[in-house]
Structure 1
Amino acid sequence: MKILNKAELQQAEKVLRSHFPKSSMAYGYLFAMNRDKPHILEVVVDSWPDFKTIICRPHPQSEHTLLHNEGLTFFSTDEKVLKRMLTEDSILDCKKYFKIRGIDMLHTTMLKDISATKDVTMRSCHVTHLLELQDPNHLPHLTVSRDVEARISSLNEFHVGLVNETWKRGDDEKGFQRIKHLISHFPTCCITDEEGRSVSWVLLYDYCAMGLLYTLPEHRGKGYAKILLSTMAARLHAQGYPVYCYVLEENQVSYRLFKKLGFTEYLSFRATRFEFNY
C-alpha cells in the first residue's frame, strides 16, 4: 500500500479520468484536492505508478472527520486486489460505524464476504443512477425571462441555515458544517425572489457531483430547477469540472429532469452506499 503525495495525486487524477464515469466519486475527490479545495482525505493505492485500486479515506490522524462522516470510496479494476487491501491493509476500522460510498453494486458479494470474515453487520442503501453531461451542447435552449435571469446568483454563508434545514440529511450541526464547507469552497447556483431571498438552488458535493437541488414549495412549477441545472452545468464545464450527478432510483422526477437536459445514464453502473456496524 502506498500513500500518494501531491504530485502523484495529479498523475492519479489523469488515470481516473480515463475510467470516468465509473471512477466518478474517486475522480471527483482528486479533482477537488488537486485544485486546493480543503479536505481531510488520504489517498492510497495498491502499487505505483501502475495501480489497480485507489482508495480515498479520511486521514487517520485527522481530528476533523465531521465533514466526511467516517466514509471512504474507491475505484478498482481488479476486485481481488481491492479485497486484499480492504482485508489486510488496515483500511477499515471494523470496530466502529463506517460507510463506503459511490460504489458499483457489482462489489456487493465481495463486501459481504469481508463483513462475514470480520463479523460486522452490513447493508446497502441509496442505490442511484449515474448520469453525466458529456457535451454542454446537449443542453436544451431555454427561454429565460430577463427578470429571472437577473435573479440568478450564487449562495453564500448566509444561506447555510436555510439549505441545511431543507436537506434531507441535514438539519443538525453536522449537516450545517458540511453545507457551510460546500458553499464556501465549491460552485453553487441559486435563484432569488424579488426581495433577494434565495428560493431555489443547486450545490456541488466535495466529490464534484451536482446535488442538493431544491426549490421552496411556494416557488415550484416555475421551471427554476431546469434553469439552475442548465446554468450550473454550463458553468462547471467551462471551468473544467466533470459534469455529473447521482440520482436515487426512487427519485423519478429528478431522473427525468436530468435526462431531458441531455445527461446520459450509465446503465451498467449502479452506485450505492454501504453501511457497516450500523
Structure 2
Amino acid sequence: MLILTCPAQLQRLEGALRRSLPLALPVTGTPLSPLPRAVTGTPMSPLPRAVYGAVMNINRGNPGEFEVAVDSWPDFGAVLARRSGEVAGGDVGRGVGTVPWHAPGGLRAPPGAPQMPVDDCYRNMHAAFYRDVGAYRALLETPGCLRWDTAFHVFGGPGRGGGLQEGVATVSQAIAGTKGVELEVSQYYTYLHPDPSTMPEPRLDPGVRVGSLSPAHVDLLNETWAFGGNGRSRRYLAEVLERFPSLCLQDGAGQPLCWALTDPFGTGAHGYTLPAHRRRGHMRAVLALAARRAQARGFPAFGHTATGNRPMQRLQEELGHRQLPGLCRFVLHNPGLGRAGP
C-alpha cells in the first residue's frame, strides 16, 4: 500500500480518474472546464466519481484534509480516499512521492497524526474505486489501511453498465465476516448533469435572494437532517459548512429557506427545504444554481438520491440530470458503535 504525496503524482491520478468518467455523457460547455471536452475510456469503464472529487479537492488546497492510498503506483488497481493520518502503520519516507505503510511491530499512527475517533462514522468517511476487485480487497486487508474496530463508512459509486463497483460492498462483507464486524448497506441513485450551462435561469419569488450558509447555521441543519441530531453529526456539518461551498435561498431577513451543501467528495448533498416553504420551486432553483457553481469551479455536477425519493428524482430529471446506471452504496461498518457516541 502506498500513500501518494507528490503533487505531480496526485495530478496524474486525477487525470487517470477523469479518463474513467463516462463516455455516455459528452459535454458541450464542459462541466469539467478547464479540462478537455472529451473524456476517454472504455464503454465499460467504472465511474470513480467520489474518489475523483476527493482527489480534485486534494489538488486544490485539500480543505477536507484527505489523503489517497493506492495498491501500487503508477499502475494502480484500487484507490481509497480517506482522512489524512487515519492509517496506522510505520516506515514513513521510502520512495519519492509515495509512502509505503507496514506494521512490523503492531499498528501505530505516524508522529503527529490526528487520533481517529472510534465512534464517529460521520468523520470516518472513505471513498473507494477499483479497476481490479482483487487489488481492492488486498488493499483493504493491508495492515493499517483501515481500522476495523471503528465505526466508518466506505462509499462506492455505480459502475458503467450497472454495478461494476459492487465489490465495494461485497469486499467489505467478506472481510467483515472474518472479523465479526457488522455492516449496514444503504443504496442510492447517482445523478449527474452533463452541462449545467444549459440549465434554465432560475426564477425566484419576490423577497427571496441567493446566499450561502455559515457555521452559524449548523444547528438548523443538524435538526433538519434525517441522519443528524447528535454531537457527531453537528461537528461534521460544522466542518462542511466551514470548508466547502454551500448555497441557500434566504428570506428578506436573511434566514435560510432552502439549501444544498458540497461534501468532501465534491458531491452535492444535504439538500433541504423548510416545510413551510415547499412547493414554490426553491429546490429547483438551488439545484440549478449549485450545478452551475460546481461547473465554474471545474467540478462535475452530481449528487446521490435515495432510491425511494421519487420527487427528488423527478426534479433532477426535469432539470436535465441523468441517472447513472447501477447503484452507489454507503457501507457503514460497526453501526452499533456508531450509534453509541453522543
TM exceeding 0.5? yes
Q: 1:93 aligns with which of 126, 133, 147?
A: 147
Q: 1:121 maps to which residue? A: 182
**CA separation in 1, counterparts of 2:50 and 2:308?**
21
Q: Which moved more, 1:11-20 or 1:93-102?
A: 93-102
Q: 2:192 aligns with which of 125, 128, 132?
A: 132
Matched, 1:63 2:63: no
TM-superposition CA deviations, 1:82-138 (whole Å, max 9, x none) = 1111223432322333321234462133332222233322331x2000111111244
Q: 1:231 maps to which residue? A: 289
Q: Which runs of 5+ in 1 are unaligned?
A: none
Indicate conservation of the 8 Å contact 2:126/2:153, yes or no: yes
Matched, 1:14 2:22: no
Indicate conservation of the 8 Å contact 2:191/2:303, yes or no: yes
**CA separation in 2, counterparts of 1:211 and 1:94?**
27
Question: What displacement does 1:23 show?
Answer: 0.5
Q: 1:175 aligns with which of 233, 245, 258?
A: 233
Q: 1:206 maps to which residue? A: 264
**CA separation in 1, counterparts of 2:171 and 2:214?**
42
Question: What displacement does 1:261 show?
Answer: 0.8
**CA separation in 2, counterparts of 1:143 and 1:94?**
48
Question: What displacement does 1:179 show?
Answer: 1.6
Q: 2:61 maps to which residue? A: 36
Q: 2:333 maps to which residue? A: 276
Question: What displacement does 1:164 show?
Answer: 1.7
Q: 2:137 maps to which residue? A: 83
In the superposition, relative to structure 1, how do residues 119 and 173 fare at CA in structure 2: closer, same or farther (>3 Å)? closer
Indicate conservation of the 8 Å contact 1:130/1:245, yes or no: yes
Question: What displacement does 1:260 show?
Answer: 0.9
- Name the aligned partner's letter for residue 114 of structure 2: S
Bigger fraction of residues in helix: 1
Secondary structure of the corresponding residue to residue 99 of structure 1:
strand
Indicate conservation of the 8 Å contact 2:192/2:302, yes or no: yes
TM-superposition CA deviations, 1:239-259 (whole Å, max 9, x none) = 212210011101111111111
Question: What displacement does 1:217 show?
Answer: 0.9
Q: 2:173 maps to which residue? A: 112
Q: Which runs of 5+ in 2 are unaligned?
A: 23-46, 87-112, 336-342
**CA separation in 2, counterparts of 1:83 and 1:232?**
36
**CA separation in 2, counterparts of 1:189 and 1:3?**
33
**CA separation in 2, counterparts of 1:78 and 1:112?**
17
Matched, 1:27 2:84: no
Number of residue pairs matched by the alignment: 274
TM-score computed with the length of structure 1 as normaliser? 0.90
- Name the aligned partner's letter for residue 25 of structure 1: A
Secondary structure of the corresponding residue to residue 11 of structure 1:
helix
Q: Which moved more, 1:220-229 or 1:107-116?
A: 107-116
Q: 1:2 maps to which residue? A: 2
Q: 1:157 maps to which residue? A: 215
Q: CA RMSD in A?
A: 2.1
Secondary structure of the corresponding residue to residue 188 of structure 2:
strand
Q: 1:54 aligns with which of 61, 74, 79?
A: 79
Secondary structure of the corresponding residue to residue 73 of structure 1:
strand
Secondary structure of the corresponding residue to residue 9 of structure 1:
helix
Identity value in percent: 28
In the superposition, relative to structure 1, how do residues 96 and 191 fare at CA in structure 2: closer, same or farther (>3 Å)? closer
